[in-house]
Amino acid sequence: MDEKTDRCVFNADMLSRKTAVVTGASRGIGAAIAHRLCEVGANVVICSRSTESVSQTATSLETKGYTVHAIAADISKKEDVDTLIDETINQFSQVDILVNNAGITRDMLLMRLKDEDWDAVLQTNLTGTMYCTRAVLRPMIRQKNGRIINISSVIGLMGNPGQASYAAAKAGIIGLTKTTAKEVGTRGITVNAIAPGFITTDMTAKIPEEFQNKILDFIPLQYFGTPEDVADTVCFLASDAARYITGQTIQVDGGMVM
């Protein structure tokens, strides 16, 4: 990482004695979130559908001295989610922070979109987020404290041709965020969403340069975000500094959508 992205703007013990669960954490934005939460002192449980990839990410963090526990879980399956949260509590006795990051895409124009692809995206991105959220509510309510942070997308705010299922799921996450925030606010739990814009990852690096330049025309700051930009926002929302913020969707998009 270059100097701009390999930074931590928070205190190293800001989330000490806290336990965080990050879904979809084997690479990209999820891995950056897990790394940043480790940097600020949290015990971090990371999950991914791939045992190999999530184990590799955990090993890379453990070599830096961080406390990380890797679990292979498919959040589209309720039984996997229940196991994920149960194992987290067995390992660390609590779950203080949930970051719902896992997601998939099956991009296709709506008139050509297969039912099974629509179902897969909604099941993972939206229903999976619901499963994880629901699973942590009881332990958080018992603690009278908790932070739930859902990773949505600017696509859920503005739509995008060829991404009907993804846009619907990410818009649904925003509605889920607001409703959950209203249901559990009196229990000391905040629920917020982050809507990233164009973030540089291995996936976006494959987009042709010509198309990337066209995207830049819509970004007032005139550069693409990094996974660390999203991770920093997660850390803020997970901290006491954001204790009076709930039900909000924070756009990390360089002004792309306003």
Nearest CA-CA partner of 44 in 28, 63, 27, 62: 62
Contact indicator for 130, 144 with CB cutoff of 8 Å = no
Cα angle 69, 15, 183 (rounded to 5 degrees) comes to 90
Report d(CA 247, CA 92) in Å as an integer.
27
Catalytic residues: 166
Question: Is residue 251 classed as helix, strand or coil in its secondary structure?
Answer: strand
Report d(CA 195, CA 252) in Å as an integer.
6
> Could you tell me where the DSSP H helices lie in 40-123?
51-62, 78-92, 115-121
